[in-house]
Amino acid sequence: MAKLGKRLKNAAQEVDRNKVYSLAEAVKVIKKCATAKFDETIEVAMNLNVDPRKADQNLRGVVQLPNGTGKTYRVAVFAKGPKAEEALKAGADIVGAEDLMEKIQAGDMPFDRCIATPDMMGLVGRVGKILGPRGLMPNPKLGTVTMDVAEAIKSVKGGQVEYRTEKAGIVHAGVGKASFSEQAIIENVKSYVDAVIKAKPTGVKGTYLKSLSLSSTMGPAVKFEISE
């Protein structure tokens, strides 16, 4: 087992692993432990009583965080004509059609999110095997296949985060930076957790939310509750 570095050991001493903190307490501890030389990402992990192998329990959606994520997203848009112009005006980093498809096929993908107008999906489908595994495939359920490309770009750049169920029913996402105020992190965490709770599949029996934890990029995880 790899040895913990001195900084991480010191951070771990700040956390009582047997305690379930209030959200406010957890945020204080996490910010105190985020001592890396860069602005660490604050991440929420939710352990859900779901079976990702079942289609109706494989959660996926997006949440608009009230205080943004602290990250700058580069957005690519598949569009033509007036919609391409609309995307450029709205701040898209890359806009194209066949030329954008060829870039992707060549492995040139300098973007973090991909949006497409519905008429472009035939073209997008040709690079689906490249975009899909990277989580970049436009999807109507996520609002990334739309005629309102300006609003979609605004949402992505304004602090929208995606959640999806992973193995063992874990759902996690970055909800801010260590430099954020405690109140901003609390508001973002509540918005994120609330959205995932509201997305509870109807087929789930028993307790849906098994546990919650908060961590920073280089820090220890802190269990917390959102009883409030």
- Residue-wise pLDDT for 162-213, tens only, equals 888 888 889 999 999 999 999 999 999 999 999 999 999 888 888 899 999 9
Q: Say if residues 188 and 44 touch (Cβ distance below 8 Å).
A: no
For 119, what's the count of Cα atoms within 13 Å in the CB-facing half-sphere? Answer: 10
Q: What is the pLDDT of residues 74-99, one digit of tens each?
A: 999 999 999 999 999 999 999 999 99
Give residue 106's domain range.
Answer: 75-157
In a domain, 167, yes or no: yes
User: Rounded distance, CA 15 to CA 19, Å?
Assistant: 8
| 211 and 112 housed in the same domain | no
In a domain, 6, yes or no: no
Structure confidence at residue 2 (pLDDT): 44
| 52 and 80 housed in the same domain | no
Q: What is the CATH number of the domain that holds 214?
A: 3.30.190.20
Using the 3D structure, point to which of 125, 157, 189 is the last residue of a domain. 157
What is the band of 10 on the pLDDT scale with cuts at 50, 70, 90? Answer: low
- pTM, entire model: 0.82
In a domain, 89, yes or no: yes
For the chain, how many structural domains are there in total? 2
In a domain, 120, yes or no: yes
Strand 170-177 to strand 160-164: parallel, antiparallel, or no bridges (unpaired)? unpaired
Please list, in sequence order, all residues whose beta carbon lies within 8 angstroms of the beta carbon of residue 146, skipping any fewer than 6 positions away: 115, 117, 118, 140, 152
